Structure 1
Amino acid sequence: MKITGIELRRIKMPLVAPFRTSFGTETERDVLLLRVVTPDAEGWGECVAMSDPLYSSEYVDGAADVLRRFLIPALPAHVDAHGVNRALRPFKGHRMAKAALETAVLDAGLRTSGESFASFLGAEADRVPCGVSVGIMDSVPRLLDAVAGYLDEGYARIKLKIEPGWDLAPVRAVRERFGDDLLLQVDANAAYTLADAPHLAKLDPLNLLLIEQPLANDDMVQHARLATKITTPVCLDESIESAEHAAAAITLGACSIINVKPGRVGGYLEARRIHDLARAHGVALWCGGMLETGIGRAANLALAAMPGFTLPGDTSASRRYYATDITAPFELDEGHLEVPTGPGIGVAPVPAILDEVTVSTEWITV
């Protein structure tokens, strides 16, 4: 497939409500979109890097710079998604930028061939159960109101962000208010240390699905030790940046569940490798979210429809984060979202909406 050019497009997407985690509060998303143009089609990719290097070392300005200066110039004249992966391999890190480029190339190729993203990945479901991530709140009553609203909308699972000082009381309050049948999990975003193990063990009686990334992202050994000190299953997020990382974590016993975020691991081809590895070892998977627009959400739904993704993910409806999405909105139906079946990722931006939220565009000839 010959690429004639690539557009880097920055958009600003205000969130319907501030989203607070242990590493900061977001009120809007500064999103980098890639549009790959070929003689036969165009493909879209979304870079999930945040404005600041808080979740990971990547940030959106840096992603745009590395794409412009290194990654796009490294592409051969004719390339597919596998070729993109090979061409970018010499460059260290920058997985979110690589993932966006790989996805856009893959989308263009699949639109040309008429194959859906879900079919390409090996998805089996036509709809997936959806969970929702609930940020840190100002008070427990406000948290309970928020959770009640999401359950009324039909979400199948609730994830609560936690940090020291906001953990036992709010989680216990949610469990007591909504009962033992609620699928409930927590996400620490690396806010604790192994010294907090006795404190985290106090979550065990609350019958949680999992505790996500409780310790530092670069310390699988400590996670393995923590897993022996608590009965709540340990799930890794930030620690898993490749299939090799997943293999190491499984070997060490650092986790029994993995949250797969395609941007974090360098793209959907690597995410598929992690899926196959985890499934072979009986490790449960779910698809995480990075407050994606409809572009990233569509691709994530295809991934979440693969057979190894047995837990509800963070593939929430569009209106969970955005009053108006840049694509046709994804609407929750009895706790599920439909997996797009059209060619490629199956969706495209609505031009008028896209133009309204666009901050800048840059055209790069390949």
Structure 2
Amino acid sequence: MEINQVVLHHLKMNYKHPFVTSHGKVEKKDFYIIELIDDQGNFGYGETEAFATPWYTEETTETNRTMLENYLIPFVLETQIKHPSELTKLFQSIRRNQMAKAAIEGAVWDLYAKRLGQPLYQVIGGEKPIVDVGVSIGLKSTDQELLETIEEKLAQGYQRVKLKVKKGEELRLLDKVKTAFPFLSLMIDANGTYSWKDKERLLALDQFDLLMIEQPFAQDDFVEHAKLQDLLQTPICLDESIHTYSDLKTAIALQSCQIVNIKPSRVGGVQSTKDMHGLAKKHGMPLWCGGMLEAGIGRAHSLAIATLPQFTLPADTAGSAHYWEKDIIQPAIKTDNGKIYLSEQPGIGYSIDQEALAYYRIEKQIYTKK
């Protein structure tokens, strides 16, 4: 593939409802769409998933732009790429910055699949055109609002509910939720806000028969997670701890968890995900694909990843309408009774809604081959 032009679209989109976690409130998505155009006139698209502030990882929207403009875009414009997997080696001189790498790598994979005339999920080794999906629900102002939201999502067919919780309020909250919905497939996530001092509170969570507890401790606490998992009956799932293949090897070796949440943007893209998938499969580690409050392009990439065989648990990839009044792709991604049926069209399977793209766009930069 010879990439002749890269277009960087800077967008801002308001969420239908603020998404509240223990770290704060997310009301707007500030991000970039990467558009690649090859020598045959094909288009490939990727999306940055970093937040405006570095609460989730060290990356932000602006650090993504810096890496893309100064390093990653020049690399892909100056290099003949035979296969998207080559980007892992091409980007080796740049440490971390996984979300910036994933955004442009995703665009290359989309372009590559379109050149082959095949859906992306098939090109990367996915085995099923249907993805079971759950839903992630942020902190709510009242218990009643939360219960009503859960009821609404269950009526829409979502197969699993993830609740964002605040330390100190989770036991009372779970008691209410489980009383109202005793057979609910439920997990919780406090985004790493617990410490070892909270051990007894965490052990008390076993009574609620949760599907998993996601990332109770800080991202670098592999040892503490292992100690807790040894005491807990409930599976621990690691999220923010897993950025690289080496991180996954460490978690498996120390038995820090029983489940891993993989988000392609957090681990550096499709090829890194495929490599981790192989390691998880070798060790019998269940995976599921987490959500990053994506717009349509990032959501389509995540859905393709979720078709890999070791992703055995419902993904956090709700339909477009859960987040947006109008998404930037056509057709919008829809959930059908807890399932999303993937498009059989080439690449990510969705076209770009150019009118919506222009509406949300605040800046556009074009980079061409020298």
TM range (shorter): over 0.9
Residue 362 in structure 1 maps to residue 365 in structure 2:
yes
Normalised TM-score (structure 2): 0.97
What is the rounded CA distance, in whole Å, between the counterparts of 2:136 and 2:21 in structure 1? 10
Matched with 2:152 is: 149
Residue 198 in structure 1 maps to residue 191 in structure 2:
no
Residue 46 in structure 1 maps to residue 47 in structure 2:
yes
Q: 2:267 aligns with which of 248, 265, 275?
A: 265
What is the rounded CA distance, in whole Å, between the counterparts of 1:72 and 1:356 in structure 2? 25
Matched with 1:339 is: 342
Deviation at 1:240? Answer: 0.3
Contact 1:286 1:304 in 2 (8 A): yes
Letter in 2 for 1:206: F
Residue 9 in structure 1 maps to residue 9 in structure 2:
yes
Higher alpha-carbon deviation: 263-272 or 81-90: 81-90
What is the rounded CA distance, in whole Å, between the counterparts of 2:351 and 2:277 in structure 1? 26
Matched with 1:213 is: 215
Letter in 2 for 1:94: N
Residue 60 in structure 1 maps to residue 69 in structure 2:
no
Deviation at 1:209? Answer: 0.4
What is the rounded CA distance, in whole Å, between the counterparts of 2:201 and 2:168 in structure 1? 11
Matched with 2:98 is: 95
What is the rounded CA distance, in whole Å, between the counterparts of 1:290 and 1:337 in structure 2? 17
What is the rounded CA distance, in whole Å, between the counterparts of 1:77 and 1:240 in structure 2? 29
What is the rounded CA distance, in whole Å, between the counterparts of 2:308 and 2:165 in structure 1? 29
Residue 107 in structure 1 maps to residue 113 in structure 2:
no
Contact 1:9 1:362 in 2 (8 A): yes
Deviations 1:226-257 (A, max 9, x none): 11222110000000001211111011000110
Matched with 2:80 is: 78
Deviation at 1:296? Answer: 1.0
SS in 2 for 1:34: strand
Deviations 1:308-357 (A, max 9, x none): 11110101111111111111211111110012221111112111111111
Contact 1:127 1:337 in 2 (8 A): yes
Cα RMSD, aligned residues only: 1.0
Normalised TM-score (structure 1): 0.98
SS in 2 for 1:4: strand
Residue 302 in structure 1 maps to residue 323 in structure 2:
no
What is the rounded CA distance, in whole Å, between the counterparts of 1:172 and 1:139 in structure 2? 15
SS in 2 for 1:32: strand
Deviation at 1:106? Answer: 1.4
What is the rounded CA distance, in whole Å, between the counterparts of 1:24 and 1:339 in structure 2? 33
Q: 1:280 aligns with which of 272, 279, 282?
A: 282
Residue 117 in structure 1 maps to residue 126 in structure 2:
no
SS in 2 for 1:273: helix
Q: 2:320 aligns with which of 318, 331, 336?
A: 318
What is the rounded CA distance, in whole Å, between the counterparts of 2:54 and 2:311 in structure 1? 28
SS in 2 for 1:258: strand
SS in 1 for 2:79: coil
What is the rounded CA distance, in whole Å, between the counterparts of 2:367 and 2:66 in structure 1? 12
The number of residue pairs the alignment matches comes to 365
Letter in 2 for 1:234: I
Matched with 1:234 is: 236
Matched with 2:37 is: 37
Higher alpha-carbon deviation: 330-339 or 255-264: 330-339
Contact 1:302 1:340 in 2 (8 A): no
Residue 175 in structure 1 maps to residue 192 in structure 2:
no
What is the rounded CA distance, in whole Å, between the counterparts of 2:64 and 2:25 in structure 1? 21
Deviations 1:7-39 (A, max 9, x none): 111111111111001111011111211001112
Q: Percent identity?
A: 37
Contact 1:116 1:345 in 2 (8 A): yes
What is the rounded CA distance, in whole Å, between the counterparts of 2:283 and 2:203 in structure 1? 26
SS in 2 for 1:186: strand
Deviations 1:157-178 (A, max 9, x none): 0000012133111122111101
Could you tell me which runs of 5 or more consecutive residues in structure 1 were left unpaired when the two chains were aligned: none
